[in-house]
Amino acid sequence: MSSKKLKVVVTRRLPDPVETRLKELFDAELNVEDKPFTAEELAAAVQRADVLVPTVTDRIDSRILSRAGDQLRLIAQFGAGVDNIDVATAVQRGITVTNTPGVLTEDTADMTMALILAVPRRIVEGVKIIEQDKFTGWSPTWMMGRRITGKRLGIIGMGRIGQAVARRAKAFGLQIHYHNRRKVAPHIEAELDATYWDSLDQMLSRMDIVSVNCPHTPATYHLLSSRRLALLKPHAYIVNTARGEVIDEGSLARMLEKGELAGAGLDVFENEPAINPKLKKLTNVVLLPHMGSGTIEGRIDMGEKVIINIKTFADGHKPPDRVIPAML
């Protein structure tokens, strides 16, 4: 199959260098207006595309896949997570799925660390006070936050991003704890001075700050359920830069509202772009519009991975970032 003839349908606007390269290499159909595809538009796209390039906001479920034409052989996701794609059904239909892992690690870890600092130190509250002209001068007991150094950080999910968060947090004097499906390699544990908890419940009950860095899969949906959130100390903070669905957002909002948790820093939400109205009213939360991986460099790196995956596939080889159901 000649890569020049591959029909590549891209569902969202991508950085200019990426779109230019896609046009050079393939018969690329770009989304110039950057308007999200409806379900019907996605169904039409899979009927005409050899390769679909969706993003995490495109729901490629079994209903969409059932309408795919025989020519659709690759779904090259622009993003690391693939919880928006029914990978098992795609593979069953002979469609390869790829993603863009690794390139967003440092950017997401930076944003996680920013939230770990912002919430306990009340940075956004301080900004709003200045903006509202409410600053009347320094006083010893005003706008006091919590010290970061010496606190226990519990990381849920010790993959690439979790480890990158741990490295940053260690430099800030935090004690590193983690829960993962399995222990990380001994040399990584030693480097991070990290303590492994086989029981998530036991870890949660002892942490000062909890950072969610695991993917969203059926197994991690509401991993932080109402029951588990209740295990946290009232002075604990939660930071989530992974996926909103990992936390029971309604329960989290109620606990924050009642003062049963000290605060939260959220870059992702359970029903994006909708956000629980209770969260918006609270002063002890920092809410960001899914910006964790949003750097120019990161987005271009993602696009380059998409292109490599398509090109490798077009040349008759297995793409380097192939996703298989057993990985999920």
Pick the catalytic residue from 167, 254, 290, 322: 290
Active site residue 272: yes
pLDDT exceeds cutoff 90 at 5: no
pLDDT confidence of residue 325: 85
pLDDT confidence of residue 2: 47
The Cα 27–Cα 310 span in angstroms is: 12
pLDDT exceeds cutoff 90 at 46: yes
Ordered by where they begin, the domains of the chain are 7-102+295-327 (3.40.50.720), 104-287 (3.40.50.720)
The Cα 240–Cα 242 span in angstroms is: 6
pLDDT confidence of residue 228: 98
Active site residue 73: no
The Cα 186–Cα 241 span in angstroms is: 26
pLDDT confidence of residue 216: 87
**225-272 tens-digit pLDDT:** 999 999 999 999 999 999 999 999 999 999 999 999 999 999 999 999
Mean pLDDT of 23-43: 97
Active site residue 187: no
How would you classify the pairing of strands 322-323 and 96-98? Answer: antiparallel
How confident is the prediction for the chain on average, in pLDDT?
A: 96
Pick the catalytic residue from 41, 191, 260, 272: 272
The pTM for the full model equals 0.88
Pick the catalytic residue from 243, 245, 270, 299: 243
